[in-house]
Structure 1
Amino acid sequence: MTDSEFDLSAPELTATDFLVLEDPYFASENVALVTGAASGIGRATAVALAANGLTVVGADVDADGLDETADVAANCDVPGTFHGVETDLTDDGDVEAVVDAAAEEGDVRFVANIAGMQHIASIPEFPMEKYDLLLDVMLRAPFKTAQAAMPHIRETDDGVGAIANMSSVHGHYATKDKPAYITAKHGVRGLSRAIAAEGEGTLRGFSISVGYVLTPLMVDQIADTAAERGLSEREVVEDVMLGQARTKEMMTPAEVANLFVFGFSKHAKHLNGADLLFDGGYTHTYE
């Protein structure tokens, strides 16, 4: 493939993108709560779970983005339903309210804590207000969401459900200038284990780790990096971002969403306290 043929755009979500599984809990009376549902991986996961027949409540501070997610779900003609709830994940009251809103839609069975953000700076130069914000969104909010959701899952007729937390290859190792992100992503792996430890076997906790994902935000970052370093966008992706990986292709949001579908399903009943790592060889190989 030549540079002129190198397609770097966030893919549109279509019905054929999603893994659809037969599962007794994938039904309209059961609810999945997805944070960060207004864009990227969160949007794809919300639509993927609705494609599996679940009632999905999406939480995000971006109300317009939630409306767009609802439109995508409608365009994909999903059998489940999607309800967006504007939510500030740094506000405990908002987190409790969105969990309560999910419980009003049916039996809360699944939670996907996906909302995330990034700030690039070295540790000596990292603004503490940014550190606090990143940790609030990516570590404290998942803890608070789990705290609020676990009683609802336990109150179902059999207590079966799962809470999944979005980690990253940066939850396995560290690179320069992403200290808050790395701290949070390591932390949610620990949170997932703590949920599993308290879940009594029926309420599972797990995390999902992936490498670079082709979201609209990532497309913008690639363009900026290419301009800053005098490289082609292909060189940025294959050499800078995927240089250590063996699979020289970025994941799509739908591919990540399908990991949540699998993880919540009966096929993953032994995925409990562990991390589901799909990183193209990033973490376990090196030159």
Structure 2
Amino acid sequence: MSEAEIDLAAPELTPDDFLYIDDPYFSRDNVAIVTGAASGIGRATAVSLAANGLTVVGADIDEDGLEATGDRIQSFDADGAFHGVETDLTDDDDVEAVVEAAAEEGSLRFVANIAGMQHIASIAEFPMEKYDLLLDIMLRSPFKMAQAAMPHIEDTDDGVGAIANMSSVHGHYATKDKPAYITAKHGLTGLTRAIAAEGEGTLRGFSVSVGYVLTPLMLNQIEDTAEERGLSKREVIEDVMLGQARTKEMMTPAEVANLFIFGFSSHAKHLSGGDLLFDGGYVNTYE
């Protein structure tokens, strides 16, 4: 297949894509915060939580994207509700404000820290301003979100809830030219375990780790990696991204969102401090 024939695109979300769980905590009275809700995995997770009946507060710096997420939820005639809040996750006051806004909508029980970014460069050439921005969004912000949200979850009638962090196969191993991303994802493992340690068993922390997902972030990454390594886009996809995987296809945002649905549900009450690793064989299989 020629380079011109590569036409990847993030798939459109449909109601049939999602896992639906009849759960006592999945109701409009209970609230979930989703960061990065304007696109990709964040949008899919916001849609899936609303489709399962929860009130969802989406946090993102992209106001237009949040509106599009709300429109998609409305088009599904979801049982839940959606409120988009324009949020700069690098601003502590904004993070605290979105948590307070969520608490005003009902009982805050769930947080999905999904917002992320990527920058492709070697350690020697990595711009420190990009390193600081990436770590602020992907590690410091989840810590601040947990700090602000945990008291609200603990103050519910039974203290039941969960904070979930979007990790990655890069939270389990390292590849070259992604040093800041790898640092952030490994840090999220520690944060997840710290949340679980302080959660008293009812407030859980868990993470979700996947391989490559068809999102706008990933599509941009293909071109960046091709340029950084002097490869074609096809070589990046087949050799770099899917070379080690046993499942030779990328995940969809909805498939990842379903892992958050399960992790938040009562079926996962023993998932605390652990990681849902759905990676197609990247981490634990070798040539």
Take 2:225 and 2:185, find their aligned partners in 1: how far apart are those partners? 23
Residue 244 (structure 1) aligned with residue 244 (structure 2): yes
Residue 48 (structure 1) aligned with residue 69 (structure 2): no
Take 1:46 and 1:184, find their aligned partners in 2: how far apart are those partners? 23
1:97-118, Cα deviation, whole Å (9 max, x unpaired): 0000000000000000000001
Is the Cα–Cα contact under 8 Å of residues 118 and 221 in structure 2 kept in the other structure?
no
Give, in angstroms, the shift of residue 209 of structure 1: 0.5
Opposite residue 266 of structure 1, the aligned amino acid is S
Task: State the match for 1:75 in structure 2.
Answer: 75
Q: Give the direction of change, closer, same or farther, for the CA distance of 1:75–1:170 in structure 2 (3 Å limit).
A: same
Give, in angstroms, the shift of residue 247 of structure 1: 0.5
Take 2:56 and 2:161, find their aligned partners in 1: how far apart are those partners? 14
Take 2:225 and 2:128, find their aligned partners in 1: how far apart are those partners? 25
Moved more, 121-130 or 268-277: 121-130
Q: Give the direction of change, closer, same or farther, for the CA distance of 1:6–1:176 in structure 2 (3 Å limit).
A: closer
Q: Give the direction of change, closer, same or farther, for the CA distance of 1:220–1:121 in structure 2 (3 Å limit).
A: closer
Task: State the match for 1:282 in structure 2.
Answer: 282
Opposite residue 112 of structure 1, the aligned amino acid is A
SS in 2 for 1:181: helix
Task: State the match for 2:155 in structure 1.
Answer: 155
Is the Cα–Cα contact under 8 Å of residues 15 and 77 in structure 1 kept in the other structure?
no
Moved more, 120-129 or 161-170: 120-129
1:206-263, Cα deviation, whole Å (9 max, x unpaired): 1110000001232344356568856464x43222210011000000000000000000
Is the Cα–Cα contact under 8 Å of residues 222 and 233 in structure 2 kept in the other structure?
no
Query: How many correspondences in the alignment?
Result: 285
TM-score by length of 2: 0.95
Q: Give the direction of change, closer, same or farther, for the CA distance of 1:38–1:152 in structure 2 (3 Å limit).
A: same
Take 2:167 and 2:273, find their aligned partners in 1: how far apart are those partners? 13
Opposite residue 49 of structure 2, the aligned amino acid is L
Residue 92 (structure 1) aligned with residue 99 (structure 2): no
Take 2:120 and 2:7, find their aligned partners in 1: how far apart are those partners? 26
Residue 14 (structure 1) aligned with residue 22 (structure 2): no
SS in 2 for 1:84: strand
The equivalences for 1:20-59 within 5 A come to 20-59=20-59
Task: State the match for 1:128 in structure 2.
Answer: 128
Is the Cα–Cα contact under 8 Å of residues 205 and 272 in structure 2 kept in the other structure?
yes
Opposite residue 72 of structure 2, the aligned amino acid is V
1:28-70, Cα deviation, whole Å (9 max, x unpaired): 0000000000000000000000010000000001101100111
Task: State the match for 1:172 in structure 2.
Answer: 172
Take 1:6 and 1:79, find their aligned partners in 2: how far apart are those partners? 38
TM-score by length of 1: 0.95
Gap regions ≥5 residues in structure 2: none
SS in 2 for 1:77: coil
Is the Cα–Cα contact under 8 Å of residues 238 and 249 in structure 1 kept in the other structure?
no
Opposite residue 136 of structure 1, the aligned amino acid is D
Take 2:231 and 2:150, find their aligned partners in 1: how far apart are those partners? 49
SS in 2 for 1:66: helix
Is the Cα–Cα contact under 8 Å of residues 30 and 106 in structure 1 kept in the other structure?
yes
Task: State the match for 2:261 in structure 1.
Answer: 261
1:169-219, Cα deviation, whole Å (9 max, x unpaired): 000011111111101000011100000000000000011100000012323
Give, in angstroms, the shift of residue 77 of structure 1: 1.8
Take 2:127 and 2:30, find their aligned partners in 1: how far apart are those partners? 41
Q: Give the direction of change, closer, same or farther, for the CA distance of 1:277–1:117 in structure 2 (3 Å limit).
A: same
Gap regions ≥5 residues in structure 1: none
Take 1:195 and 1:99, find their aligned partners in 2: how far apart are those partners? 17
SS in 2 for 1:208: strand
RMSD over aligned Cα atoms: 1.7
